[in-house]
Chains A and B, each alone.
Chain A
Amino acid sequence: EDQVTQSPEALRLQEGESSSLNCSYTVSGLRGLFWYRQDPGKGPEFLFTLYSAGEEKEKERLKATLTKKESFLHITAPKPEDSATYLCAVQASDNFNKFYFGSGTKLNVKP
């Protein structure tokens, strides 16, 4: 069964305190892994797609990495505006239109 687990469920950081969020997955064949950001009361917003182990993508203070069984979202020197819930989703290679989402990590960055 395809499954996505994110940890931790919640993370509180001080401004400038770097950390990482984890997304582990089991899928019969991975076509892509996606990271999204979701602000309260809004729909998810796309951040990154990773397709193969060893791949890395960066955007401002965020860097996403991928291994064969998990992905990390590294947050360097976070700011309060980085506070949000971060979701990951996996896409199986046998059906490009089916995406399996984790339950998210709620990040709170205190000034």
Chain B
Amino acid sequence: NAGVTQTPKFQVLKTGQSMTLQCAQDMNHNSMYWYRQDPGMGLRLIYYSASEGTTDKGEVPNGYNVSRLNKREFSLRLESAAPSQTSVYFCASSEWGYEQYFGPGTRLTVT
């Protein structure tokens, strides 16, 4: 079992470029999440998907879009990257309402 996988591991973008972060889980969980982690601020929820076919905004959704492609996969898209989106991005999954399992993260730098 790989658990939660994320690609890419590292990415450098220029302001205005777009990219998609990919996440997949093999635990048959219904719920999936995207967080960003910045120094001194803890993990902040960007978007979540409570079940296949649904997505909802978290604390900091501006500048991001998500797609729940199927039960396994949940992607995060930055349409026009900004330096304020420099962060470490984590995907997580859980059985509805229970503990979350996190991926290894994507380190994104926007110059």
Contact = CB atoms under 8 A, between A and B. Distances in A.
Given A43-B4, A45-B102, A97 B48 contact: yes
Contacts of A97: 31, 33, 48, 50, 56, 96-97
A44 to B, nearest CB: 5
Contacts of B102: 36, 43-45
Contacts, number: 54
Nearest to A44: B102
B64 interface: no
Nearest to B99: A46
B93 to A, nearest CB: 11
A108 B103 CA distance: 24
A43 B42 contact: no
Contact of A46 (B40, B41, B100, B103): B100
B42 A102 contact: yes
A98 B45 contact: yes
